[in-house]
Chain A
Amino acid sequence: VRLRDPLQRNTSLITLIVIVVVCLVSLGISTDSFSVSPRAVGQSIFGTIERGFSAVGGFFARTVTSVRELRNLRAEYNDLVEQLRTSERIAGDVEALERENARLRDVLGFSESLEIENLPARVIAKEPGSFFAGLTINKGSGSGIRRNMPVVANQDGKTGLVGRVTDVGLASSVVMPLFDARSYVAARLDRSRHEGLVRGLGASTNMLRMDYVSEDARPYLQAGDLVITSGMRSIYPEGIQIGIVNAIMGEAYETSLRIDIIPIVDLSRLEYVFVLEVAD
């Protein structure tokens, strides 16, 4: 009963299918156009399946290949990044070396251009104590440095006085800068030729003051005038630039003027100096 139930229920459908199939076969035979061969059907079915498999297989193959390529690309990318970093580092080093080279050429050129015999030296340290502002250079008695030798530097195309050597070791020396309050230099105003004495105002100001300039010089002076060494009974040779006049002070009843001077050389960015070999 159970087996017959579905047949009984779908009788019409089954009948329809049978009729349609019979008709189609009959039609094909009668018109001689029955071209569906089992081989072709099998080929079509298997072809479709094969295409499906091929597509799926291709997809997986491409995916695996892509993953492998991605891994290779990542490795190549990392290599390239590393190479780029190395190149940048080398380029930075080359740039720094070129700058250093240019600086050293400047130093060498300047050293040769100075009329006075000189010893180029590098500033290697600054005074650790706070009260004073000495500089330590990398040349000592072994290089021919002696106490009280004048020290100059070339900065922004100008040659300026830095100070004098106060202590000498075998391979290093200490330079007392011009603005130290214990430093005195016989000086002259370059334009008016008036003389005076330049002293440092101490490490707290980094400024200089020129004293003992005659009151008569006032009409001939102005801010911006150049002050140079006079060479008068001094350890410093004549004609070295000291600084620029910043302010002129002095009351009418005073016999001399006080002139504030800005040093030519900025010690805070000093790298190389030249110790002048002058006769004792």
Chain B
Amino acid sequence: LRRGAVLVAIVIAAGAAALQSTVLSFLAIRSVQPDLVLVVVIFVANRNGSLMGQITGLGAGVVLDLIGTSPLGLYALIYTVIGAVFGVTRGKMFVDPVFMPILFALAALLIKGLLGLILGGLYGIAGLSEWILSSNFAIEIGYTAVLCPVVFGLLRLVRILRPERRRGEGF
């Protein structure tokens, strides 16, 4: 595990969270913003594997839990699971600049919605299932999917997030 890379990934995710809470709230569609934090988590997981994906997801989720009104642990759990799941895709599929990021975002948001429904039901978190089953969630999915290739493109420029080549691994 590359500690520096994990730290940078969490800082970028926290920056994305800050962006969502300030600047992007002005670009919200019907008060719905894209989930850039989630995009950062799936990018890091896909590039660096499950362990780094989980830790980045945990860090990003804790940041979201701490600066909002969500129950502590809700986003942390959801993003950790998503980080772990997308870490499995590392090196197993070719990620083109446009199509795969959109597909990743769609899949990640569906997992987020599913986990939200399960946790909302298990812990009786009021308003969670209503939000996920509302049209707002569909807007969030669409908005995030559209922005995902752009964010992936920007994150590709961050050298430290590039995967280390395993011994004997070629291009």
Contacts and interface: CB of A to CB of B under 8 A. Distances in A.
A34 B80 CA distance: 122
A240 interface: no
A128 B127 contact: no
B151 to A, nearest CB: 15
Contacts of A124: 22
A133 interface: yes
Nearest to B31: A268
B126 interface: yes
Interface string A251-280: 000000000000000001000000000000
B116 interface: yes
Task: Name which of B125, B126, B134 has the most chain A CB atoms within 10 A of its CB.
Answer: B126
B68 interface: yes
Q: How large is the interface on A (under 10, 10 to 19, 20 to 34, 35 or more residues)?
A: 20 to 34
Interface residues of B, number: 32
Given A129-B75, A268-B31, A134 B130 contact: no
B145 to A, nearest CB: 14
A118 interface: no
Interface string B20-46: 111001000001110101000000000
A211 interface: no
Nearest to B74: A131
Contacts of B125: 182
Contacts of B89: none
24 contacts: A126-B22, A128-B18, A128-B67, A129-B64, A129-B75, A130-B140, A131-B127, A131-B132, A132-B68, A133-B31, A174-B67, A176-B69, A180-B69, A180-B126, A181-B127, A181-B130, A182-B125, A182-B126, A201-B127, A201-B130, A202-B134, A203-B131, A204-B130, A204-B131
Interface of A: 124-134, 136, 166-167, 174, 176, 180-182, 200-206, 268
